[in-house]
Amino acid sequence: MEASRRQPLGVELVKRGVVTENDIQKALEYQKNNPGKKIGDILNILKVCNPNTLIQAIAEILDEKGIFLMERDVTINVTEYISLDICRQNKAIPFDIGGGKIKVCFSDTTNTRSVEVIRLLLLNKGLVMEKYITFEDNIMKLLSSLEGGAKENIDTSGDVSGLVDSIIKTAIDKRASDIHIEPLEKSIRVRYRIDGRLVDAAKIENDKQTQIVGRLKAISNMHQEKQESQDGRILMYPDYNIRSSSQKNVYGEKFVLRLLKKNSTIRGLFDLGFPKDEQLVKKSFNKRNSITIVAAPTGEGKTTTLYSIIQYLNRPEINITTIEDPVEIRVPGLNQIEIDAKSTFSGALRTVLRQDPDIILVGEIRDQETAEIAMQSGQTGHYVLSTIHTIDAVEVITRLRKMGVSDYDISSTLATSVSQRLVRRICPHCARERDYTPEEKQVMQEIAGKYGREIDFTGKKTYDAVGCAKCNKTGYLDRIGIFEVLIIDEDIKELVTNGKSSLEIRRKAIENGFEPMVLDGIRKVLDGTTTLDEINNKLVLY
């Protein structure tokens, strides 16, 4: 990093009062064992002062521009301009662009060969390079982050306790919802589920498998000797309640850890992606003597939506009780009951009915007994909220029928069924705006036309998912729901009572204004929230 000067860099830094002579002495001792490291980088490693203050002082001494880069400072898709391999070879990273100039950070601006390699590559793209200086470690960490970073962040060099801890902490840092630790034939694979997608995080040598399994069982309060399916809980991370599950396979025992954040902030319905229609919300959820069911496959955010509905309804004068497996978010003012191995939803629901509730949240309707008690609760003055596994809002009726609930009970008690999917949001930091292709317009017009809608593409743009440090190079950041809401009006009640098919019920619902989920998906594509590819991945449009 340092140019040759009359005074060594360390002396200059001491003269400016940035570091002390003792700091320089420690850095020189460190350099004896790490001769390839420069004094400036060593002072940063030793954390002798604020890194931004240090790099600014070094840059001033070297007559350069200095910056301590954070991930948020990398506002471009680096690989559009330079490959990560070339960045690594030359210890450089482009981070911002504007007015035909591109800003590039180097760890050593005196290395004229590296500077010239990068300058010419960018010049060929019509860009003038603006040179900055930072620490080598700063650049290398950012480059690791641009590759997804999980592999580099997991420390596989220490003992097994440290390794397991690193796997979990890295998952938390990466916003993962689940960790998969899977024994394979020749290695152990670690994967994270981030925004609904599984991504590789690490590969670990097979000889650590027994120790890893032992450690996971120990912190999950599982039986060490058993090699059969077990469920446990990890409580050693203060902000997280981690559910663990083990399952034997042909190569050993696989673990899946579900990361549940304690005291998570409950998002409002509109923040989740629910249609922004206050009247629809009031008609859907402000009920008594009825039941509302949220339907979707596993992992599509049903429980999150239930909590948002509860937040909307929660008032001091209302007694709300929840029955959950497990309690995922603890909410002040609610009576929350957790199902364990000795209890069931149906048994807990019977007890709750004697506790004078106004609103009852039943985590899931799994069987006929729970369904029938939930329906009876709705018929006796309570408002019941629950979830069910099925593909759409109309099929909730079919699913209840298959569980043995009578058409009379469904028509008289079911007030609203909501179905949803989670799609990834386009990353706002790296999305590239473009026009719709003719094929995309045709697909969307045909779907809208099927339901009597038209789309005006005037002034509308879509986005390509590019990828950057902030979104783990996926092009998507966080998720949003796409919804359909079926309100059981008098026409639908009559069809259900008469045992009509889901096809007939859907046809009548659409006549009465019901909007299938695909229309909400297209709406979110048109407003730039997500992409047509994401909607297609969930609903198969083409």
Give domain limits for the chain: 9-142, 150-261, 269-539
**Distance of alpha carbon 358 from alpha carbon 378, whole angstroms:** 10
Q: What distances in angstroms separate CA 126 from CA 86, 101, 188, 471, 474, one per listed residue?
A: 18, 9, 46, 27, 27
Amino acid at 416: T
Q: Residue 155: its pLDDT value, please?
A: 67
pLDDT tens figures, 462-480: 998 888 878 877 889 999 9
CATH of 9-142, one of 3.30.230.10, 3.40.50.300, 3.30.160.270, 3.30.300.160: 3.30.300.160
Distance of CA 374 to the CA centre of its chain: 32
Domain 150-261 annotated CATH 3.30.450.90? yes
Q: What distances in angstroms separate CA 134 from CA 1, 70, 200, 380, 515, one per listed residue?
A: 8, 11, 30, 69, 54
Average model confidence (pLDDT) for the chain?
89
| 152 Cβ neighbours under 8 A, 6+ residues apart | 144
Residue 421 in contact with residue 481, Cβ under 8 Å? yes
**Residue 15 reports pLDDT greater than 60:** yes
In three-state secondary structure terms, 34 is coil
**Distance of alpha carbon 324 from alpha carbon 307, whole angstroms:** 11
| 422 Cβ neighbours under 8 A, 6+ residues apart | 196, 299, 300, 301, 479, 480, 481, 482, 538
pLDDT tens figures, 470-528: 887 788 999 999 999 999 999 999 999 999 999 999 999 999 999 999 999 999 999 99
**Residue 314 reports pLDDT greater than 80:** yes
Q: Which letter does DSSP use for residue 522 in this model? A: H
The top-level CATH class assigned to 269-539 is alpha beta
How much of the chain is in helix, strand and coil states, percent to nearest 5?
A: 40, 25, 35
Strand 178-183 vs strand 197-205: parallel, antiparallel, or unpaired?
Answer: unpaired
Point out the least confidently predicted range of 108-122, 331-345, 366-380: 331-345
Mean pLDDT of 186-201: 89
Residue 14 in contact with residue 24, Cβ under 8 Å? yes
Q: Residue 3: its pLDDT value, please?
A: 43
Copy the structure tokens of residue 184: 């394979």
∠ Cα 520 524 525 (to 5°): 115
Report which of residues 277 and 100 the model is more confident about.
277
Q: What is the pTM of this model?
A: 0.69
**Distance of alpha carbon 483 from alpha carbon 433, whole angstroms:** 25
H helix or E strand, kind and range, residue 383: strand 383-388
Copy the structure tokens of residue 386: 């629950």
**Distance of alpha carbon 214 from alpha carbon 206, whole angstroms:** 14
Give the residue among 377, 355, 367, 352 at the shortest CA–CA distance from 292.
377
Q: Residue 296: its pLDDT value, please?
A: 94
